[in-house]
Structure 1
Amino acid sequence: MAGMLAIRKARVPLGTAIGLLLVTLLAVFASGAEPVPGPSPAASASSCSAPALGGVSAEAGIRALIGKDLYPGEKIEGLKIVPEPEQSRAAAQWEVHLVDDGKHFHPLFHPPTIILYQVLPGQAHFPMAGSALSPTAASAPEFRTWQKKLALTRSLMRQVVVLRCMLYCRHQMDALDQDNLRSAEQELSTLRTKPVEH
């Protein structure tokens, strides 16, 4: 009982708690236009340079190019490739199924139902070297445009999760004390530098 009384005494006024949370969340949103961090340390290392594509089949090479930007558990669906040998290239279409489950948030900020899915279509013409994908395929303009769209989509998905967590916090505000607020503030301040966990 004494422990419960100590916790109640440590609680901050509702207005102060809301103010602290909003200041922290505004700091997160102030940089929301920046791309979300890379998928994982291993994937980031591989994304520094394009996969070695010499001698790789067109399908395997294109899957490797798309896959290096995906998080674990995300899928490439409906990949269709049409060779265009007269122009030394291959036309490709695909869909990527993206996931953001909000697990990068402190449990205090994580409603049990937060999980976002997004289907992101893509298409590009990749240069070929005979029957294999060219080593310069990663520089295909349409593919680079798709990569930028992917980064923007991830950023928007992250912001939606932040907003839903804000709403959850608002309804849980009376349960917060100073220790919880400090912990939550630290988690939110490092949100942008943490990859999404699956």
Structure 2
Amino acid sequence: MASERKKLRGVVLAEDKRTERFFRNLLKKLGFGRFRFDTAPKGQGAGEAWVLRRYPAEVKLLRSKNFQAALRLVAARDGDNVGVSDRKQELDQALTNAGLEARQAGEHIATPVPTRNIETWLLALLGANDLDETTDYKHRFENEYGASERNALSDAAAAWQEVNDTSLPSLRDGAAEMARIDP
């Protein structure tokens, strides 16, 4: 599978740099090929809203190049206090508002929604068992791993294969979403 993944390329829309760095590590650990990262600029509004605005154009571009079977799209947005299903519904609505069809089952488009935020996923992947999806763990992650964030992101990506039925619901959903970009 790794050799097939190596041939794939695409775009990752990320709402912040930490999310970008995690998905960069994850795609590398999973053996994926070249992905371009398009990350919300810091200090210019909500990152999740930026991804939402960019998503229809990227989907339209991906669909226009459907003859290039190796293309993929990942749009990662934190669930914050909204949650996974509402965030996904917002993405589908953005497509409808742009005159496009909602994401179809066979499309190689992944929409992982780390809930409450990417730090929740990172802590879970690094072994924390006392987490929920409503608490903001940004400060906890920074306190525990801030000095060694690079290693923590790499270790979290390496633990991705261990996501299972006992993992946080948004993390399980994220694994299913990322499976959509597999060959």
TM-score (norm 2): 0.28
TM-score (norm 1): 0.27
Larger radius of gyration: 1
